[in-house]
Amino acid sequence: MGIGVSALEGAGYVDWAEDELNVQFHAFQDTRDATILSPTIELTKDFTDRTTLRAKFGLDAISAASDSCVRCHRPGARDTRLLAGASVIHKLSDDTKLTVGAEVGHENFYQATTVIAQISKRLNKGNTTVAGGYSFSLNRPQLHPAQRTENQFASDAFASLTHTLTKTTVAQFGYEIAQIDGYQSSPFLRALINGERAVGVSPDSRTRQTLSARLRQALPLDSYLETDYRHYLDTWSIHSNSLQVGLSHYLTRQLLVNVSYRWYQQTGAFFFAPEYFGNPHYFTGDFRLQPFDSSLYGGRVVYTSRGRLLWLPEGAGLTAEYEFYRSTTGFQAAIFTGGVRIPLGNK
Amino acid sequence: MSLLCRTVVLAGVMGLSAQGCATVQPWQRGRLADPCMTFDSDAGRVAYQTHWQEAREGAAGGFGVQSGGCGCK
């Protein structure tokens, strides 16, 4: 289970968004025997020339739960996660936008509720955008198979600076700090302690910080380079670096292809061990807290119609994407995404 | 110097340096208008990617923050 806060939009200042319906279907399968089918629907709609509404509904349908569920439920355990969110983006002036929103997620043994506010302002004749925001989440895991429910509170503050360096280069720098308090163990992942398996005990406070640097570079021959770097550290002694590089190229005006690679590395939490002996204060069986590296390979094709496409209006987009994730722990996952973007009329 | 102090100093330096960069005029923004030049132009795709990665890695944040829950335990 992750901490919670909702993503409302990127930190940049986008003026050209149009009313649209975005339907995506994700299929995820990993070596822990989890298969997750996730349809999502997003609607972006103007209500006035200064106010836009975004609404999102998503579903995760798990057809075979992971090895931790199989320990007690031999045939596997089905689960469904429902996600609904809405945000309102209001232009306070030609250069300043305010976004407020909320998101709720519900699944077996877990509920998440998030509120968020963000403000962004353009400076320097539109070449610079500064943005900042705050979000608060209340996450409520149930300690299955018991009925007891715990609370987890997450506060998150973030700021970013996006700057147009040249007529072909845009850079973004960001900082984010999150404070999570309350229950942060997983009731499903068990640690090996004195030869027996037991639900772990993690510290009830965690501060997470991230620094990010991103670059978009237009290249000759209708090509674009995308690079994202993130440095992360927290008070559980996890330090992490990730670097993603992508290359996009328009084969024709309608057909965009993208290939990407992401490298990720993290150290382990200070209390992580493969096996525990004696009477440790903290112990965990959470695979996310061990040291590992991972690679993510991706390929994506986006087709944007210049005229009507079947029953779809002009400007509709079709997306197909395949990703393969592999970590040094032996964990692997394959993800397929298909999507349709339907314009509902320009602003 | 703490990370927070370093970040504030870094942000200040970046802000000052940004003021010194050449201004790109509106008629020079042709290629900047392409969706490939926009961070997170497909918000739904980014939200999904970030969510499943944060459910399987120890680090989180930096590129838009996500709703909790995993479903796959």
Measured distance between the N- and C-terminal CA atoms of chain B, rounded to whole angstroms: 39
Residues A56-65 pLDDT 10s: 898 888 776 6
Asked if B14 and A176 come within 8 Å (Cβ–Cβ), the reply is: no
Band (A347; pLDDT cuts 50, 70, 90): very low
Q: How far is residue A14 CA from its own chain's centroid?
A: 20
Asked if B67 and A266 come within 8 Å (Cβ–Cβ), the reply is: no
A118 at interface of B, judged by CB pairs closer than 8 A: no
Residue A342 in this model has a pLDDT that exceeds 80: yes
Mean pLDDT across A19-46: 88
| Confidence (pLDDT) at A265 | 97
Asked if A288 and B72 come within 8 Å (Cβ–Cβ), the reply is: no
The answer for A178, left when phi > 0, alpha when psi is -120 to 50, beta otherwise, is: beta
The answer for A345, left when phi > 0, alpha when psi is -120 to 50, beta otherwise, is: left
Residue A202 to residues A181, A189, A197, A234, A251, Cα–Cα distance (Å): 11, 12, 15, 14, 50
- Which of A32, A69, A107 minimises the CB distance to B69? A107
**Nearest CA-CA distance, residue B33 and chain A, Å:** 9
Asked if B60 and A178 come within 8 Å (Cβ–Cβ), the reply is: yes
The total of other beta-carbon atoms located within 10 Å of residue A143's CB is 16
Mean pLDDT across A93-98: 91
Residues A132-178 pLDDT 10s: 999 999 998 888 778 888 899 999 999 999 999 888 999 999 999 99
Tell me what percent of the residues of chain A surpass a pLDDT of 90.
53
Least confident span in A4-18, A69-83, A282-296: A4-18
| Confidence (pLDDT) at B70 | 53
| Confidence (pLDDT) at A127 | 86
Place of tokens 């025997």: A33
Tell me what percent of the residues of chain A surpass a pLDDT of 70.
91
Residue B57, helix vs strand vs coil: coil
Burial class (CB in 10 A: 0-12, 13-18, 19+), B12: exposed
Mean pLDDT across A44-67: 82
Asked if A287 and B56 come within 8 Å (Cβ–Cβ), the reply is: yes
Place of tokens 């229950």: A183
Q: How far is residue A297 CA from its own chain's centroid?
A: 17
Least confident span in A1-5, A155-159, A179-183, B19-23: A1-5
Asked if B14 and A3 come within 8 Å (Cβ–Cβ), the reply is: no
Q: CA A252, CA B54: separation in Å to the nearest integer? A: 35
Asked if A65 and B73 come within 8 Å (Cβ–Cβ), the reply is: yes
Residue A225 to residues A187, A210, A268, B61, Cα–Cα distance (Å): 42, 23, 32, 22
Cα nearest neighbour of A335 on chain B: B49
Residue A99 in this model has a pLDDT that exceeds 60: yes
- Which of B40, B62, B72 minimises the CB distance to A62? B72
Band (A289; pLDDT cuts 50, 70, 90): very high
Backbone angles phi, psi at A139, to 5 degrees: -110, 135
Mean pLDDT across A126-137: 90
Selected for mutation to probe chain A from B46, B53, B73 (highest A CB count within 10 Å) is: B73
Residues B17-73 pLDDT 10s: 554 455 777 777 778 888 888 888 888 888 888 888 888 899 988 876 555 555 455
Residue A1 in this model has a pLDDT that exceeds 80: no
If contacts are CB pairs under 8 Å, which of residues 290-329 in chain A contact chain B? 294, 296, 319, 321, 323, 325
Residue A301 near residue A260 (C-beta atoms within 8 A) = no
Asked if B59 and A6 come within 8 Å (Cβ–Cβ), the reply is: no
Beta-bridged to residue A229, according to DSSP, are A213, A243
Least confident span in A135-139, A243-247, A299-303: A135-139
For each of the domains in chain A, give its residue range(s) and CATH number, in order of start: 19-183+203-268+291-345 (2.40.160.40)
| Confidence (pLDDT) at A11 | 37
CB contacts of B68 in chain A (<8 Å) are 1-4, 105, 110, 112, 114, 137, 139, 152, 154
Mean pLDDT across A215-219: 93
Mean pLDDT across A80-101: 90
CB contacts of B59 in chain A (<8 Å) are 208, 210, 230, 232, 234, 238, 240, 242, 264, 266
Q: CA A120, CA A76: separation in Å to the nearest integer? A: 46
Residue A317 near residue A341 (C-beta atoms within 8 A) = yes
* Arithmetic mean of pLDDT over chain A: 87
Q: Six-digit token pair at A284? A: 């965990």
Residue with the bigger pLDDT between A261 and A45: it is A261
CB contacts of B38 in chain A (<8 Å) are 10, 12, 14, 216
Least confident span in A13-22, A152-161, A275-284, A307-316: A13-22
Measured distance between the N- and C-terminal CA atoms of chain A, rounded to whole angstroms: 38
Cα nearest neighbour of A110 on chain B: B69
**Cut 0.90: pTM above it:** no
R_g of chain B, CA atoms, integer Å = 18
A74 at interface of B, judged by CB pairs closer than 8 A: no
Cα nearest neighbour of A234 on chain B: B59
Residue with the bigger pLDDT between A325 and A64: it is A325
Band (A182; pLDDT cuts 50, 70, 90): very high
| Confidence (pLDDT) at A153 | 93
- Which of A14, A126, A230 minimises the CB distance to B63? A230
Residue with the bigger pLDDT between B72 and A105: it is A105
